Amino acid sequence: MRQRLRTKLQFTAIGWFAALVMAFPIFWMTLAAFKTEIDAVASPPLLFFTPTLENFAEMQERIDYIAHFWNSVAVAFGATALALLLAIPAAYVMAFYPGRRTQGILLWMLSTKFMPAVGVLVPIYLLLRDAHLLDTRTGLIVITLFGNLPIVVWMLYSFFKEVPREILEAARVDGAGALQQIVRLVLPLALPGVASTALLSIIMSWNESFWCINVTEVNAATLALAIASFSNPEGFFWAKLSAASVAAVAPMLVLGWCTQRQLVRGLTFGAVK
């Protein structure tokens, strides 16, 4: 009993240590957001200082946080909704009607994530330019959608594979079509996995910075571009940069905190039968 308790305490301590190490950059960034520019670059770093909100006020005057925030929301949730709309039927077919090339197609889809985004920057930029989609939410949503689609299909495929085939066979005997099977059986049974996939897609879309910086400027600028605007050739405004980063990260931290149980439940869905 004592050995089990000691082992549990050791793992708990290791878990807390890992959590603190991962959370330290966010903690330090939050401290810098409330410092003056002089205090932010002081050496040695200051742990005790007079907090100020001037960085957030200047950030709002410079970038219009609300406009950038809504652009990020539109891109993250729009790309996720479209990705699920396309990925759910694809994952359903691959999970329950696999063919000889199913695994090859899945591997090919995943392999597209191995290519660095900068490798396709020029052709995609030219395509968006010719389609008049530069600096538009639509263009950014399309790019983010196809960037996340392989991961979304793979995750949904793995979750759908855990749904008992016998249930679908019984539904087919009763005359249920493919759409009815997806809506009434597959999605409810795999709901934790679908929810965790959606949450992960939203987070990835929210954090997308490369395409935001390269194909947007004003109208569709997201919070990622807002953060980048606080750098200049001479250096960085560290306090203001930290304030913008905190403002950009905070919504996802709140979302992750509120949905952590669902996220963990979804990611472990099917792990134990």
Mean per-residue pLDDT pooled into runs of 10, the chain (273 residues): 79 88 88 85 80 86 86 94 94 89 86 84 91 91 92 91 85 83 87 88 90 86 83 69 87 82 63 45
Contact 238, 41 (CB under 8 A): yes
Domain ranges of the chain: 64-229
pLDDT score recorded for residue 81? 95
pLDDT score recorded for residue 264? 67
Closest CA to 67 of 219, 202, 200: 219
Q: pTM for this structure?
A: 0.84
pLDDT score recorded for residue 272? 43
Region for 48 from its dihedrals, namely left if φ exceeds 0, alpha if ψ lies in -120 to 50, beta otherwise: beta
pLDDT score recorded for residue 73? 93
Q: How far is CA 182 from CA 98, 185, 190, in A?
A: 16, 6, 10
pLDDT score recorded for residue 232? 64
Longest CA pairwise span in the chain (Å):
73
pLDDT score recorded for residue 152? 93
The CATH classification number of 64-229 equals: 1.10.3720.10
